[in-house]
């Protein structure tokens, strides 16, 4: 066999082998099959969600100001007006992710009634942030507005995937598609652990510049919404709201006493604690 034929055969085998190990090509999804999707990064595909796990907007108590701000921002985006990426940060269990999902439902329903393209919710996991450019490539040509949602976003010491997020939010040649808005929740305002920032300062030649690149990530979010620990009155309002919504029959004083006792045993008051109490109470009273 001539040397040229041998070389060509070898190159063909190499090409076949590379094709086998290459990541699967992202296929254009059918966005009409669902209102919400989860980004499956390893398979480069969007998995439709038949029913989103959410609570009604009316059940979210004690967060009226941030609720109104997020709703207004989302409505403006969905109707083609300027809007900001949003970072919902603060205390655990105060309804950050619940508010994002309830906001999507409210806006999507309103758009459908207006005869406009329905707002779609896309969830991306924190560990898949580096694949954001691929996901954006799928969303950019689609005829729908997309709310891209990452829950519990934060970065550890050796994590460099935040650079992909920075490029997507406010940088790069293409930038963020006009039909995509990014919402994230986090317990950290700057998305970084305090010890991570202190470590950068202590080991860098120029501490200020070393921290600036990572801390500036939160600046890419034009809308910062803070969630703080609720007062006793706000906690009880949440409990009463859940009890009324689900039709629980209980004496007000009994409900108050048991709700406060439940919060004491948990060591905190929050929307999540109120929901957990109602679940327990409903089970005990046979609702």
Give the percent of the chain with pLDDT over 70: 76
Two tokens at 228?
A: 């703080």
Q: What is the pLDDT of residues 58-97, one digit of tens each?
A: 888 889 999 999 999 999 999 999 999 999 998 888 999 9
Decide: helix, strand or coil at residue 260.
helix
pLDDT tens-digit map of 5-37: 676 666 666 655 555 554 555 566 799 999 999
Instruction: Enumerate the H helices of the chain as residue ranges.
Output: 3-21, 64-78, 96-114, 132-139, 162-170, 194-203, 207-215, 232-245, 252-266, 271-285
pTM of the model: 0.80
pLDDT tens digits, residue range 172-199? 566 678 999 999 998 877 666 555 444 5
| pLDDT at residue 208 tops 80 | no
Q: Name the DSSP letter for residue 153.
A: -
* Strand, coil or helix: 212: helix
Phi, psi (5° rounding) for residue 62?
Answer: 80, 10
Give the residue with greater pLDDT, 129 vs 188. Answer: 129
92-101, 145-154, 156-165, 172-181: least confident range:
156-165
């Amino acid at each position: 066999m001539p040397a040229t034929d041998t070389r060509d055969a070898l190159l063909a085998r190499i090409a076949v082998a590379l094709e086998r190990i290459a990541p699967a090509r992202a296929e254009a999804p059918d966005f009409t099959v669902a209102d919400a999707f989860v980004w499956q990064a390893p398979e480069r595909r969007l998995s439709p969600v038949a029913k989103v796990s959410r609570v009604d907007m009316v059940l979210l108590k004690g967060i009226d100001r941030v609720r109104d701000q997020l709703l207004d921002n989302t409505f403006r985006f969905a109707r083609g007006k300027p809007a900001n990426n949003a970072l919902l940060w603060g205390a655990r269990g105060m309804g950050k992710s619940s508010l994002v999902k309830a906001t999507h439902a409210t806006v999507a329903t309103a758009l459908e009634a207006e005869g406009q393209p329905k707002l779609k919710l896309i969830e991306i996991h924190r560990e898949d942030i580096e694949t954001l450019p691929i996901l954006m490539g799928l969303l950019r040509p689609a005829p729908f507005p997309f709310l891209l949602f990452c829950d519990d976003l934060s970065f550890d010491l050796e994590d460099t995937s935040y650079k992909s997020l920075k490029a997507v939010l406010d940088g790069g040649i293409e930038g963020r598609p006009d039909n995509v808005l990014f919402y994230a929740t986090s317990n950290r305002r700057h998305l970084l652990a305090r010890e991570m920032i202190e470590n950068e300062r202590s080991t860098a030649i120029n501490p200020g510049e070393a921290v600036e690149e990572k801390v500036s990530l939160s600046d890419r979010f034009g809308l910062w919404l803070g969630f703080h620990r609720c007062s006793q009155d706000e906690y009880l309002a949440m409990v009463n709201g859940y009890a009324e919504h689900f039709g629980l029959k209980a004496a007000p004083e009994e409900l108050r006493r048991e709700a406060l006792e439940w919060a004491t045993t948990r060591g905190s008051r929050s929307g999540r604690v109120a929901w957990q109490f109602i679940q327990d109470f409903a089970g005990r009273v046979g609702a």
